[in-house]
């Protein structure tokens, strides 16, 4: 197996879901949570009891921003994993398009029940943002601009984008390191900083 594939395997390995892959995801959720609050929005992580008919699904964030209620769910895709490799090689950011479709299928009915919008925050592990992710960032930017906050609104959104990019790449590094350590039989040390669960 080529060295490149060996190094990338931990980034989509099922054994690391619920561990390092989840840490990377949670870090991006935390970044959005902090960014939305900094922009003057209201944000709750993992709201419960939003579904109907016994649906226990929970989006990552319930947000009130710019006078609208929005449900957000974060997903970070690997366009080079074997499952999506052929499709993603044909179209830029195809991985985010497919992820948005999956999340919309899962949460659209819940959002309608809550009279809310649903926005999937789909990004690729290399940092590419999906259309809906860009839409949410634009909403956060507009909210920060309208609030006339202490910090310039463009600085808030610039910092948020940087934090998300760092969380994704740091999460990638942790996943690769953890996979390597497991391969040679050493326990992995997880540390994302900031005191939050990270991904």
- Report which of 37, 35, 40 is spatially closest to residue 145, judged by C-alpha positions: 40
Is residue 132 in a domain? yes
Answer with the residue of higher pLDDT: 163 or 49.
163
Domain CATH number, residue 150: 3.40.1350.10
Q: What is the pTM of this model?
A: 0.82
Contact between residue 164 and residue 31 where contact means Cβ atoms under 8 Å apart: yes
Which residues, including other chains, have CB under 8 Å from residue 70's CB and lie 6 or more apart? 61, 62, 63, 64, 116, 117, 118, 119, 136, 139
- Find the domain containing 157 and state its range: 3-183
Q: How many domains does the chain have?
A: 1
Which residues, including other chains, have CB under 8 Å from residue 134's CB and lie 6 or more apart? none
Burial of 29-55, coded b for 16+ CB within 10 Å and e otherwise, reads bbbbbbbbebbbbebeeeeeebbeeee
Is residue 81 in a domain? yes
Quick check: 80 pLDDT over 90?
A: no
If you average pLDDT over residues 105-130, what whole number do you get?
Answer: 94
Is residue 194 in a domain? no
Residues in the chain: 199
Indicate the average pLDDT of the chain: 83
Is residue 143 in a domain? yes
Contact between residue 52 and residue 99 where contact means Cβ atoms under 8 Å apart: no
Is residue 177 in a domain? yes
Is residue 70 in a domain? yes
What is the pLDDT confidence band of residue 6, given thresholds at 50, 70 and 90?
Answer: very low
Is residue 197 in a domain? no
């Amino acid at each position: 197996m080529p060295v490149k594939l060996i190094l990338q395997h931990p980034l989509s390995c099922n054994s690391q879901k619920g561990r390092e892959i989840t840490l990377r995801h949670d870090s991006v959720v935390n970044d959005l949570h902090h960014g939305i609050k900094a922009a003057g929005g209201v944000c709750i992580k993992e709201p419960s009891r939003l579904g109907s008919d016994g649906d226990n699904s929970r989006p990552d964030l319930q947000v009130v921003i710019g006078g609208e209620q929005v449900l957000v769910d974060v997903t970070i895709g690997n366009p080079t994993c074997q499952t999506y490799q052929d499709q993603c090689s044909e179209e830029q950011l195809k991985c985010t398009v497919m992820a948005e479709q999956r999340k919309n299928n899962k949460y659209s009915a819940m959002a309608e029940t809550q009279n809310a919008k649903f926005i999937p925050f789909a990004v690729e592990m290399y940092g590419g943002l999906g259309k809906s992710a860009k839409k949410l960032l634009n909403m956060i930017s507009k909210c920060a601009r309208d609030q006339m906050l202490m910090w310039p609104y463009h600085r808030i959104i610039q910092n948020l984008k940087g934090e998300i990019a760092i969380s994704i790449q740091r999460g990638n590094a942790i996943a690769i390191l953890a996979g390597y350590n497991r391969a040679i039989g050493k326990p992995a040390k997880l540390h994302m900083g900031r005191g939050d669960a990270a991904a």
